[in-house]
Amino acid sequence: MIDQQRTESRSLRSLAALNLNGPTLYELLDVPTQASRLQIRESYIRLRSTYASGSQALYSLVSDEEARQTLESIEEAYRILDDDHLRKEYDDLIGVIREPVRTQPLDYGSLHDSARMGRRISLQEETSGSKLYGSSSESTDNRGVWDGEGENEVRTTRPYVSSAPVAGKIKKVAERPTSPDLRAQEEAILAKPEVFDGVTLTRLREILSIPQSEIQERTKIAIEYIKALENNDFHKLPSLVYVRGFLKIYLQYLGIQDGKPLIDAYAEKFNNWREKHRPHS
Amino acid sequence: MEYAALKRGLHRALSTHSSKFPHGIGMVMFEINPRFKQQNPTSESELSSQITQNFSAWRMGLPFELPVTNPKSIPALIAVGGGKGGVGKSIVSANLGANLAQFGYRVLIIDLDLGCSNLHSHFGVAMPKKSLADFLLTKTANFRDIMLPAPVQGVAFVAGGREEIWGDFLENPSSDLQVLWDAIVSSRQQYKVDIVVLDLGAGTHRYTMDFFSCAHLGIVTCLPEPTSIENAYVFFKMALWKLIDNLGRRLHQTEVAQDVKAALASMAGGSLSSGYATCFRQLAMSYPGFIQELQKTIQARNVGIMINQARDQADIDLGTSMEHICQKYFGLPTRYVGYLNYDESVLKSLKNRRLLVSDFPHSMIAKRLSVAAAQSLKILGMQRRN
């Protein structure tokens, strides 16, 4: 805690002690003022190797002493520009208006001790309660990334992964229809298993208002086969045993308890077509 | 294989076109490949935007008189220089030229290492009878006679000539190189040459810098070692001074040019903050017009850096570092054209007396040369033709 406070006060002091008459930090790092954090980092790595001791590129032009000073100022510039909150403060200081970053890909850039910085930001938020850090620090906060303080926190720092499948029990069956009207439609189809084919299969799916992609995702049937099943494109389908298997898990996912008569009806149609078109297969 | 193709082409050219081209040798390599016949090099779409757009600014910094006023009638000029000797200038120019020819351009490579020429050895050819010395000094040959077919399709080269003839010339230069310049500039119209690669000599001799300041793209080759880097920086410096000189002459402001040079000499020192870039900024207050013109002429030229004999990643990164330093210190926008790795096949191909890229076409260095050629075309704003 004390250590954090010390680093915090040092950073503020150094920002105040910056020489505003010389080149800006952006000029020092050779980046445009709108540069992303990744661009700044790339430029910093390039410049660090340029001015590092033993770098050959400086030979005969720049003295060792000056290279060391330049390297120090580059380190300082990077330290400020890499920190979102310090950078914003600095931008205000020199009058740069920067477009706020809409998406939050910043977690990719947390390659060095940004976890520590993240915590420092939150500390300041508590103590000063300044409005400056209010909105931005929440999203750029890297706390917990390295600490593994809990599943919950990790997920809050990476909101963009929320669309990925939720770990745990996978939903095996689609939501059943609630309205009696839809139930009646489904019953009507199930009552006449002999006319079952791709069209009625599609109808069953549409009653539950499920897209084909969901079927594909849950049952792992390739989308081409789902389309072929529903369009009665028998020539695109594999052999009968696969077709039966596909229909079984498809109907299972739709939540139809007794799908056997339906599958048999479909298989019969498939067989008829096959005997007509591919008698020797 | 190249020899066979060359021989066949030579035979064909001599038998079918002997009446059309009495001095057929210079045209032979253009007759070999039917692909080249399909292209019309003077069509406007084929021209480099970079060269045509900056034509007037480029012209301002020329040391020679330019006989033509149309930017479309001059070939693209690539000069390969770089201070120190033995950094691979001739290897780069010969193989870069061969790669540019692979991309579908007609390339003429001229050995401008006056008095110390060995470009022909890189093509695996013995010292030719007709050379630049015959054209420039003894005047016994015209320019077409000295354009010799290289053992690569689409490439012609001009050999430097015997050293004993050049010896006297360099001692007391009687004629200047305007004749050669005229021949180079008119080579596009006369021989349909698209790109001229100038293989410059070591050091910062007057003629070397003359031709470097002419080039649309000046490539400075450099080894990753302190002596070579130091010489490369000296070369950049001399190129800047040459441009200031040329510009002073063009603008009829030689006094201003002298003043600027004197100011630069006194102000610039061994630190970044007192580099040429800073000096230019300060001088812009006293001579705003001149410095502005100078910036324009610098922008009209592209300076490329090429690292040769790179052995590890640090050597490769040296190019980007030098790019940065040149911008910071000299105020010279440079481009990293590419690097060549250290490769034994260079020596082997020289001993085999064959061109590197045709002797070891699958070696790493041939690949790097191809990348560098593509990058050079990109800098010049030209498209690959195949």
- What would the DSSP string read from start to end of B261-329? HHHHHHH--SSGGGSHHHHHHHHHHH-HHHHHHHHHHHHHSEEEEEEEEE-SHHHHHHHHHHHHHIIII
Which residues in chain B touch residue A31, judged by CB atoms under 8 angstroms apart?
none
Cβ proximity of B95 and B371 under 8 Å: no
- The residue among B152, B28, B148, B146 whose CA lies nearest residue B98 is B152
Cβ proximity of B92 and B219 under 8 Å: yes
No. of helices (H) and no. of strands (E), chain A:
14, 0
Distance, in angstroms, between A162 CA and closest chain B CA? 40
Contact between chains at B325 and A58 (C-beta distance less than 8 A):
yes
Looking at residue A256, its pLDDT comes to: 84
Distance (Å, whole) CA A202 – CA A204: 5
Cβ proximity of B322 and B67 under 8 Å: no
Contact between chains at A61 and B325 (C-beta distance less than 8 A):
yes
The mean per-residue pLDDT over the stretch A246-273 comes to 88
Which residues in chain B touch residue A60, judged by CB atoms under 8 angstroms apart?
226, 229-230, 233, 270
Distance (Å, whole) CA B307 – CA B375: 14
Cβ proximity of B112 and B86 under 8 Å: no
Distance (Å, whole) CA A110 – CA A154: 14
Contact between chains at A30 and B320 (C-beta distance less than 8 A):
no
Residues paired with B198 in a beta bridge:
B79, B110
Looking at residue B6, its pLDDT comes to: 54
Query: How long a stretch of residues is chain B?
Result: 386
Return the residue in A19, A56, A58, A68 with the most chain B beta carbons within 10 A, the one to mutate for interface testing.
Answer: A56
Tell whether A208 lies on the interface with B, counting CB pairs under 8 A. no
Say which residues have a Cβ less than 8 Å from residue B306's Cβ, sequence separation at least 6. Answer: B82, B92, B219, B220, B221, B222, B319, B337, B338, B339, B340, B372
Which residues in chain B touch residue A23, judged by CB atoms under 8 angstroms apart?
none
Q: Which helix (H) or strand (E) holds B78?
A: strand B76-81
Point out the residue among A30, A56, A66 whose CB comes nearest to the CB of B226: A56
Contact between chains at A56 and B230 (C-beta distance less than 8 A):
no
Looking at residue B316, its pLDDT comes to: 92
Distance, in angstroms, between B372 CA and closest chain A CA? 21
Strands B155-158 and B148-149, how do they pair? antiparallel
Maximum Cα–Cα distance across chain B: 66
∠ CA A237-A239-A240, nearest 5°, is 100
Distance (Å, whole) CA A120 – CA A8: 7
A154 φ/ψ sector (left φ>0, alpha ψ -120 to 50, else beta): alpha
Cβ proximity of B339 and B369 under 8 Å: no
Distance (Å, whole) CA B248 – CA B266: 19
Taking CA–CA distances from A29, the nearest residue in chain B reads: B324
- At A144, the pLDDT band (50, 70, 90 cuts) reads very low
∠ CA A152-A153-A154, nearest 5°, is 95
| Nearest-10 crossing angle of helices B288-300, B254-267 | 80
Taking CA–CA distances from A52, the nearest residue in chain B reads: B321
% pLDDT > 70, chain A: 66
Looking at residue B362, its pLDDT comes to: 92
Q: Distance from first CA to last CA of chain B, Å, rounded? A: 21
CA A124 from centroid of its chain's CA atoms = 29
Whose structure tokens read 């990643």? B313
Point out the residue among A57, A63, A66 whose CB comes nearest to the CB of B229: A57
Tell whether A72 lies on the interface with B, counting CB pairs under 8 A. no
Contact between chains at B272 and A66 (C-beta distance less than 8 A):
yes
Looking at residue B22, its pLDDT comes to: 41
Residue B119: CB atoms within 10 Å: 25
Cβ proximity of B156 and B27 under 8 Å: no
- DSSP-derived 3-state class of residue B179: helix
Tell whether A66 lies on the interface with B, counting CB pairs under 8 A. yes
Which residues in chain A touch residue B325, judged by CB atoms under 8 angstroms apart?
50, 57-58, 61-62
A10-39 residues touching B, CB cutoff 8 A: 30
Looking at residue B231, its pLDDT comes to: 92
Tell whether A121 lies on the interface with B, counting CB pairs under 8 A. no
Contact between chains at A61 and B322 (C-beta distance less than 8 A):
no
Looking at residue B3, its pLDDT comes to: 57
What averages of pLDDT result for each successive group of 10 residues across chain B (386 residues)? 54 43 40 44 57 87 86 90 88 94 92 86 88 85 90 90 75 74 90 92 86 93 92 91 91 89 79 80 88 90 94 91 89 92 93 92 93 92 82
Contact between chains at B317 and A46 (C-beta distance less than 8 A):
yes
Contact between chains at A66 and B317 (C-beta distance less than 8 A):
no
Looking at residue B36, its pLDDT comes to: 45
Distance, in angstroms, between B31 CA and closest chain A CA? 46
Distance (Å, whole) CA B72 – CA B44: 8
Say which residues have a Cβ less than 8 Å from residue B93's Cβ, sequence separation at least 6. Answer: B78, B80, B109, B119, B197, B198, B199
Cβ proximity of B228 and B222 under 8 Å: yes
Cβ proximity of B118 and B166 under 8 Å: no
The 8-class DSSP code of residue B127 comes to P
Question: Which tokens is A115 given?
Answer: 């976890």
What are the distances in angstroms from CA A184 to CA A1, A190, A195, A204, A247?
Answer: 66, 10, 17, 12, 22
Task: Please enumerate, as own/partner, the contacts of A60-69 that have beta carbons within 8 Å and a separation of 24 or more.
Answer: A60/B226, A60/B229, A60/B230, A60/B233, A60/B270, A61/B233, A61/B270, A61/B272, A61/B275, A61/B325, A61/B329, A62/B270, A62/B271, A62/B272, A62/B325, A62/B329, A63/B270, A63/B271, A66/B271, A66/B272, A66/B273
Contact between chains at A63 and B224 (C-beta distance less than 8 A):
no
Q: Provide the mean pLDDT of chain A.
A: 73
- Report residue A87: phi and psi, to 5°: -65, -40
Question: Which tokens is A182 given?
Answer: 């839809």
Distance (Å, whole) CA A76 – CA A201: 66
Cβ proximity of B126 and B135 under 8 Å: no
Tell whether B316 lies on the interface with A, counting CB pairs under 8 A. no
Looking at residue A100, its pLDDT comes to: 61
Residue A175 CB-half CA count within 13 A: 11
Per-residue pLDDT of A21-42, as tens digits, reads 778 888 888 888 888 889 999 9
Which residues in chain A touch residue B272, judged by CB atoms under 8 angstroms apart?
61-62, 66, 70
Which residues in chain B touch residue A57, judged by CB atoms under 8 angstroms apart?
229, 318, 321-322, 324-325
Point out the residue among A60, A62, A70 whose CB comes nearest to the CB of B230: A60
The answer to whether the Cα torsion of A230, A231, A237, A241 is positive or negative is positive
- Indicate the burial class of A249 (C-beta count within 10 angstroms; 0-12, 13-18, 19 or more): middle
Cβ proximity of A216 and A225 under 8 Å: no
- The residue among A137, A141, A136, A89 whose CA lies nearest residue A110 is A141
- DSSP-derived 3-state class of residue B197: strand
* b/e burial code for range B269-286 (CB count within 10 A of at least 16 → b): eebbeebbbbbbeebeee
Taking CA–CA distances from B230, the nearest residue in chain A reads: A60
Tell whether B22 lies on the interface with A, counting CB pairs under 8 A. no
Q: What's the Rg (C-alpha) of chain A? A: 32
Question: Which tokens is B315 given?
Answer: 């050597």
Return the residue in A42, A61, A64 with the most chain B beta carbons within 10 A, the one to mutate for interface testing.
Answer: A61
Cβ proximity of B342 and B311 under 8 Å: yes
Whose structure tokens read 């012609």? B156
Residue A156 has pLDDT above 50, yes or no: no
Residue A133 has pLDDT above 70, yes or no: no
The 8-class DSSP code of residue B47 comes to S
Say which residues have a Cβ less than 8 Å from residue A166's Cβ, sequence separation at least 6. Answer: none
Tell whether A96 lies on the interface with B, counting CB pairs under 8 A. no
Q: How many CB pairs under 8 A join A and B?
A: 53
State which amino acid sits at residue B342. Y
Contact between chains at A66 and B271 (C-beta distance less than 8 A):
yes
ipTM of this predicted complex?
0.71
Distance (Å, whole) CA A238 – CA A266: 14
Residue A68 CB-half CA count within 13 A: 3
- At A209, the pLDDT band (50, 70, 90 cuts) reads confident
Tell whether B292 lies on the interface with A, counting CB pairs under 8 A. no
Distance, in angstroms, between A50 CA and closest chain B CA? 5
Tell whether B339 lies on the interface with A, counting CB pairs under 8 A. no
